[in-house]
Amino acid sequence: MAVMTYRDALNEALREEMQRDGDVFLMGEEVAEYDGAYKVSKGLLNAFGDRRVVDSPISELGFAGLGVGAAMTGLRPVIEFMTFNFSILALDQVINSAAKMHYMTNGQIGCPIVFRGPTGAALQLSAQHSQACETYYVHAPGVKLVTPGTPADAKGLLKASIRDDDPVAFMEGELLYNLKGEVPDDDDFVIPLGVADVKKEGDDVTIITHGKMVNVAMQAAQKMEKDDGVMAEVVDLRTLRPLDVDAVLASVKKTNRAVYLEEGWSYVGIGAQIVSLVQEEAFDWLDAPILRVTQADVPMPYAKNLENLAKPNAKRVIDACHRVMYR
């Protein structure tokens, strides 16, 4: 096992897949000459040249559409959005073209493309640059959605996404790029899409989450274990579509209590789908209503004190866990 940052794990995944398959190329704003806004593509231009690492104009709709066309002809584009907030400009290409191409051509034309970049809030980037964009993408059939929360997951899931024959939205945590963790040395390390991971075993309450919030959930679980003796189980979904339903239900049936944690807004959020699933499939195992911990239902404030109030945090997760345990 090697210890590396989330950023370097993504870089290694891109490098290995570009070496493995000559049809894979990377395109986006500043991915080539500048090595990427977050240095995820560092060194790739020198390694693969400007036909496979392509700087684009500031036109998300344009270069996303170019990527979709390339995928339709058999290439495997990786389209980097500097932030998924900017990808809202390209939703027509993602949702109306990439997601529907296989279906509307009766399977004659595929669209193996990855749209990747950071999502969610960082530090004081204000309302237009701090949105968790998962719900915009997961709603549409035809797009897979991947949200890695650790360096190992980032590498293994990105490799799987690039090899997948369907469009994949690959959402990274902007504050995770410097996060370090163990990553298998195997250059063929691939994590299948649609398989959740239990990051921490427990018997008292289940915390279900994904992406950057995995680390918040782990902080809450470790503090509860230390302070209260509460053993929380942390289930990292890793992919939101396809969803590992069996893993969610197995944990809830084990602990009989559940809290869902997400970075996005609560209204029609990912947690609403999870609550519906658990209510339909595991109602008889529940000893308490499911609670959700989300961002405040406001555009993200710029002021640091208000931003901190709006974001989900470990204390709010602990409070929710205590409530479902009637503590």
**Which tens digit of pLDDT belongs to each residue from 46-86?**
999 999 999 999 999 999 999 999 999 999 999 999 999 99
> Contact at 8 Å (CB) between 94 and 111?
no
Q: Which residues of the chain fall below pLDDT 50?
A: none
Q: Three-state DSSP class for 225?
A: helix
Count H helices, E strands: the chain? 12, 14
> Contact at 8 Å (CB) between 30 and 83?
no
pLDDT at 83: 95
pLDDT at 84: 96
Catalytic residue, from 60, 134, 172, 233: name it: 60
Q: Which of 243, 233, 240, 237 is nearest to 209 (CA)?
A: 237
pLDDT at 237: 98
Strand partners, 5: 180
Report the C-alpha gap between 181 and 20 in whole angstroms. Answer: 24
Pairing, β 232-236 against β 197-200? antiparallel
> Contact at 8 Å (CB) between 174 and 83?
yes
Report the C-alpha gap between 315 and 247 in whole angstroms. Answer: 25
Cα-flanking dihedrals φ and ψ of residue 95, to 5°?
Answer: -85, -40
* CB contact set of 115 (below 8 Å; sequence gap of 6+): 64, 67, 79, 81, 87, 90, 94, 167, 168, 169, 170
Q: Which two tokens stand for residue 174?
A: 């902007």
Domains and CATH numbers, the chain: 2-183 (3.40.50.970), 197-324 (3.40.50.920)
33 counts as catalytic: no
Q: Three-state DSSP class for 156?
A: helix
pLDDT tens per residue, range 259-291: 999 999 999 999 999 999 999 999 999 999 999
129 counts as catalytic: yes
Q: Enter the pTM of the model.
A: 0.96
Catalytic residue, from 129, 225, 281, 322: name it: 129
Report the C-alpha gap between 73 and 87 in whole angstroms. Answer: 23
